Amino acid sequence: MKSIVILASGSGTLAQAIFDAVESRTLNCTVAGLICDRTDAPVILRAQSHQVPVHLHPMLADRGQWNRDLFTLLTSLNADLIVSAGFMRILDSSITSHFPIINSHPSLLPLFPGAHAVRDALESGTSRTGTTIHWVDTGVDTGEIIAQQSLDITEGESEESLHERIKILERSLIVATIGTLLSMKEIGRS
């Protein structure tokens, strides 16, 4: 059976969707581990409640050492796919070129990359936004797009309500995308 590793830094709503899909067998895989860079992140409790091994990997002053340690950890977990689900770190090319890593982002990339995508979409006045699953490279949300799903922005919508609506799309799209990728004979960029 194929396995995945989840990288996360925050509340873990995307990770929870993945844990639930594995548990219900919507996803036919195992979760080899959660790697988290914050010791206080709520995603840790979510992983523990699903008996997913948690590996804490806080940022070091020596970023090169942090990258080497992450590479070693990912290698030891031997997963078929790495899923960034709210991991707020840029990954080094030594990692992105070696492991198949996907990320979920709350906009229709290439529009609105970065940490404030929902706010940026609202401020731009656009009428549509959505979510993107993409391959991770060394840039900020610049990797090749795998899948997207869009929604209309309603008049006067708040950043919080729009983000919650996007999260609903994100959860289903990331699960579907993981399923598609894991069904391939060889996982990798096209």
Distances (CA, A) of 187 to 43, 75, 97, 165: 26, 16, 13, 29
Reading the block at residue 127, the tokens are: 């009428």
CB 32 within 8 A of CB 4: yes
Task: Kindly compute the dihedral angle of the four CA atoms of residues 167, 151, 89, 8, in this order, to the nearest 10 degrees.
Answer: 20
15 three-state secondary structure:
helix
Task: Kindly compute the dihedral angle of the four CA atoms of residues 77, 137, 188, 37, in this order, to the nearest 10 degrees.
Answer: 20
Burial class (CB in 10 A: 0-12, 13-18, 19+), 106: buried
Q: Which entry of 57, 105, 116, 163 is annotated as an active-site residue?
A: 105
Active site residue 116: no
Residues known to be catalytic:
105
